[in-house]
Amino acid sequence: MTAVPARVGVIGGGRMGAGIAQVFLAAGARVDVVEAGGDATEAARTRVSEGLAEAARRGKLDGDVEAVLGRLTLVDSAAELPAGTDLVVEAVPERADLKAEVLRAAESAVGPDAVLATNTSSLSVTELGAVLQRPARFLGLHFFNPVPASKLVEVVVARETEPELVGTASRWVRALGKTDVVVQDSPGFASSRLGVLLGLEAIRMLEEGVADAEAIDTAMELGYRHPMGPLRSTDLVGLDVRLAIAEYLHRTLGERFAPPRLLRDKVAAGELGRKTGRGFHTYS
Ligand SMILES: NC(=O)c1ccc[n+]([C@@H]2O[C@H](COP(=O)([O-])OP(=O)(O)OC[C@H]3O[C@@H](n4cnc5c(N)ncnc54)[C@H](O)[C@@H]3O)[C@@H](O)[C@H]2O)c1
């Protein structure tokens, strides 16, 4: 059985990066997390250690938290990643220029055999790879939120990704105890493209008065065994986040992703889903 890579760099220790660092640490890797310095670096360290402590409380961590944390290092710049790094996962905010900058710095710091990956949820992996000297060693590893509890990782194959890298990345995902799906680089990959389309159709049905939100969600939960109906799922992700993805998919894939009026109105009214207490359902 393949193990996870021995030495992993994670650029950005926010919501996703801290989770990615946590799961590689728990699986036995040494992990260097790159953060912006100062308070951001301390906050990233806290996120990783709290995540590990939570895993230990649930009986889901082999070994003692302090021992696992002994394999974590925080650095202030991607240029400081060690030359012996096997895998770098970039998880900085969703801006192409920022991602290009940190990926280029990481590529110069690590050895030529290292694998570089991006956790982008919407940008073109092929376009991000075009800024690198070795785009063949680059691909997408799309983790889901929250990383420790989510089973799925999309392995996103860019135009220049060398075929053998895909198998290696899939084996690493399985060594984390997760399930890989291999997807060619295209807008929304597999997960967002299908999930968002279902959510948009559910909103259009609500607009047309076909049924109320509870009925639409229950139809999919009990009729199709979805763990969560499309409107409840939109509330969980955030209506603002869904709208931004829908706008991007509308631009790249066409009319079927046009955001419904009701979605725009709710975002304008600050009804963003669970995080504001109200979206398509109400939360106390
Ligand atoms: N949140 C999700 O549900 C989710 C799911 C899948 C993928 N993603 C993708 O993951 C990426 C990160 O998202 P997030 O939700 O973790 O964002 P976040 O804002 O929580 O974290 C980003 C982190 O990057 C740090 N950062 C900023 N500039 C940096 C730099 N130059 N060097 C090092 N660190 C820097 C920030 O301090 C912050 O801690 C995005 O590309 C996003 O699209 C997010």
Tens digit of each residue's pLDDT (9 = 90 or more) over 143-185 = 998 999 999 999 999 999 999 999 999 999 999 999 999 999 9
Q: Where residue 122 falls among pLDDT bands split at 50, 70, 90?
A: confident
**CATH architecture for residues 191-276:** Orthogonal Bundle (1.10)
CA 177, 36, 66 angle in degrees (round to 5)? 45
Q: Whose CA is nearest to atom 12 of ligand 1?
A: 91
Does the beta carbon of 152 sit less than 6 angstroms from any atom of ligand 1? no
Does the beta carbon of 91 sit less than 6 angstroms from any atom of ligand 1? yes
Q: What is the pLDDT of residue 145?
A: 87
Does the beta carbon of 40 sit less than 6 angstroms from any atom of ligand 1? yes
- Mean predicted lDDT score pLDDT of the chain: 96
Sign of the dihedral defined by the CA atoms of residues 268, 279, 262, 187, in that order:
positive
Does the beta carbon of 117 sit less than 6 angstroms from any atom of ligand 1? no
Q: Whose CA is nearest to atom 2 of ligand 1?
A: 145
Please tell me the distance between residue 217's alpha carbon and the centre of ligand 1 in angstroms: 30
Pick the CATH number of 7-184 from 3.30.465.10, 3.40.50.970, 3.40.50.720, 1.25.40.10: 3.40.50.720
Q: Whose CA is nearest to atom 29 of ligand 1?
A: 36
Residue 27: pLDDT over 90:
yes
Q: Which residue ranges does the chain devote to CATH 3.40.50.720?
A: 7-184
Report pTM.
Answer: 0.92
Q: Which residue ranges does the chain devote to CATH 1.10.1040.10?
A: 191-276
Residues 198-220: what's their mean pLDDT?
98
